[in-house]
């Protein structure tokens, strides 16, 4: 019988160890590059290969659970924003079953700064840890096209900056709305508003009641109109609709909005809708 080389024997043991793994974890992120403030959505799949159930919560090993390991550009490990809150509070996963979960990582970890990050999903089962493949992502500022300042009568020391930002994604240019409060530099979730055709400057209008209307050209024939409610208490997306050939639309608010923003561009970005604005 031909002897097995030591290296071959070691490889066989490694294969056996992988085959006997009780759990497997996979991670999928919706983007590889995010504009600062965007939600970072992670989809996780956990498979229980053991014959015994995997239990999180009452009845399970107290440290069982799902978590992420995230490092920033300096390779520093990010600490959870809510260290006392479990990402999965209860789970009973029988042998052969699969768990699928979606998480917004920016709600669980401080990922508001631009830079590069490495993300790994992990499952702890009893005294063992199972990891997904590590994914690399980048957070970028994007390029500001137009910014406006919203002020609130009952809070003179507080202001909100609404910026229209563009960035290349999926080989196309996209428009985003980034909202930041000062003091405190709080950034609300950055919204992707759709594809952008920069032959027409996007327009933004802030009404006295806090209704923000954004109009931008998505293609040669289509404009997208987005409505966002912005009050001192928070920012809420109301909806978005399409307008074909805005200058010929029955709703005359659209060409008026475009004209007003063009005048603002030629008058040092004075904001004519009840606030003040600046271009970055």
Where do the structural domains in the chain lie, given as residue ranges?
23-139, 142-278
Instruction: Report the percent of the chain where pLDDT is more than 70.
Output: 80
Q: Is the pLDDT of residue 38 over 80?
A: yes
3-state secondary structure of 107: helix
- In this prediction, residue 258 carries a pLDDT of 57
58 pLDDT band, cuts 50/70/90, is confident
Helix or strand (DSSP H, E) at 191: strand 191-195
61 pLDDT band, cuts 50/70/90, is confident
pLDDT digits (tens, 9 = 90+) for 64-86: 999 999 999 999 999 999 888 99
12 pLDDT band, cuts 50/70/90, is very low
Q: Which of 229, 219, 217 has the alpha carbon at shortest distance from 261? A: 217
Q: Give CA torsion, residues 45, 49, 50, 54, to 10 deg.
A: 10
Q: Are strands 186-187 and 172-182 parallel, antiparallel or unpaired?
A: antiparallel
Tell me what the pLDDT averaged over the chain comes to.
84
Q: Which of 184, 172, 109, 171 has the alpha carbon at shortest distance from 139? A: 109
pLDDT digits (tens, 9 = 90+) for 171-189: 899 999 999 998 877 888 9
Tell me the β-bridge partners of 234.
Answer: 231
* 4-13, 102-111, 133-142, 179-188: range with lowest mean pLDDT: 4-13
d(CA 112, CA 41) in angstroms, rounded, equals 14
With a CB cutoff of 8 Å and minimum separation 6, the contacts of 262 are 201
Tell me the β-bridge partners of 101.
Answer: 44
Q: Are strands 33-35 and 135-140 parallel, antiparallel or unpaired?
A: parallel
2 pLDDT band, cuts 50/70/90, is very low
- In this prediction, residue 21 carries a pLDDT of 85
60 pLDDT band, cuts 50/70/90, is confident
- In this prediction, residue 215 carries a pLDDT of 95
With the C-alpha atoms ordered 169, 226, 158, 40, is the resulting torsion angle positive or negative?
A: negative
Per residue in 164-182, is it b (16+ CB within 10 Å) or e — as a string? bbbbebeeeebbbbbbbbe
The pTM assigned to this predicted structure is 0.77
Sequential DSSP letters for 113-150: S-EEEEEEEEEEETTEEEE---EEEEEE--EEEEEEEE
CATH architecture designation of domain 23-139: Sandwich (2.60)
pLDDT digits (tens, 9 = 90+) for 223-263: 999 999 999 889 999 999 999 865 554 455 555 565 555 55
- In this prediction, residue 244 carries a pLDDT of 87
Give the DSSP letter of residue 4.
Answer: P
Our measurement of the distance from residue 29's CA atom to the centroid of its chain's CA atoms, rounded to an integer in Å, reads: 10
- In this prediction, residue 59 carries a pLDDT of 78
Average pLDDT over residues 37-49: 97
3-state secondary structure of 261: helix
Tell me how many degrees the CA angle 11-14-18 measures, rounded to the nearest 5: 140
Helix or strand (DSSP H, E) at 216: strand 211-217
- In this prediction, residue 192 carries a pLDDT of 96
pLDDT digits (tens, 9 = 90+) for 142-165: 999 999 999 988 888 889 999 999
Helix or strand (DSSP H, E) at 238: strand 234-244
5 pLDDT band, cuts 50/70/90, is very low
Our measurement of the distance from residue 163's CA atom to the centroid of its chain's CA atoms, rounded to an integer in Å, reads: 16
Residue at token pair 């063009």 = 262
């Amino acid at each position: 019988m031909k002897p097995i080389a030591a290296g071959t024997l070691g490889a066989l043991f490694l294969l056996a160890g992988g085959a006997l793994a009780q759990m497997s974890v996979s991670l999928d992120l919706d983007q590889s590059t995010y504009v600062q403030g965007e939600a970072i959505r992670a989809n996780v799949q956990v498979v229980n290969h053991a014959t015994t159930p995997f239990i999180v919560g009452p009845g399970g090993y107290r440290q069982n659970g799902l978590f992420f390991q995230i490092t920033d550009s300096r390779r520093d490990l990010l600490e959870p924003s809510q260290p006392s809150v479990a990402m999965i509070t209860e789970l009973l996963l029988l042998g052969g079953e699969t768990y699928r979960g979606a998480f917004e990582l920016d709600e669980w970890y401080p990922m508001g700064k631009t830079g590069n990050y490495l993300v790994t999903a992990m499952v702890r089962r009893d005294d063992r840890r199972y990891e997904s493949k590590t994914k690399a992502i980048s957070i970028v500022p994007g390029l500001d096209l137009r910014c406006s300042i919203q002020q609130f009568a009952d809070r003179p020391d507080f202001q909100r900056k609404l910026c229209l930002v563009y960035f290349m994604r999926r080989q196309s240019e996209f428009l985003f709305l980034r909202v930041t409060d000062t003091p405190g530099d709080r950034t609300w979730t950055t919204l992707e508003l759709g594809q952008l055709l920069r032959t027409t400057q996007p327009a933004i209008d802030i009404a006295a009641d806090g209704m923000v209307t954004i109009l931008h050209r998505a293609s040669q024939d289509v404009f997208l109109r987005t409505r966002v409610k912005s009050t001192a208490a928070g920012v809420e997306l109301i909806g978005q609709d399409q307008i074909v050939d805005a200058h010929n639309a029955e709703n005359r608010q659209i060409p008026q909005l475009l004209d007003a923003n063009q005048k603002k561009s030629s008058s040092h970005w004075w904001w004519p809708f009840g606030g003040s604005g600046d271009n970055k």
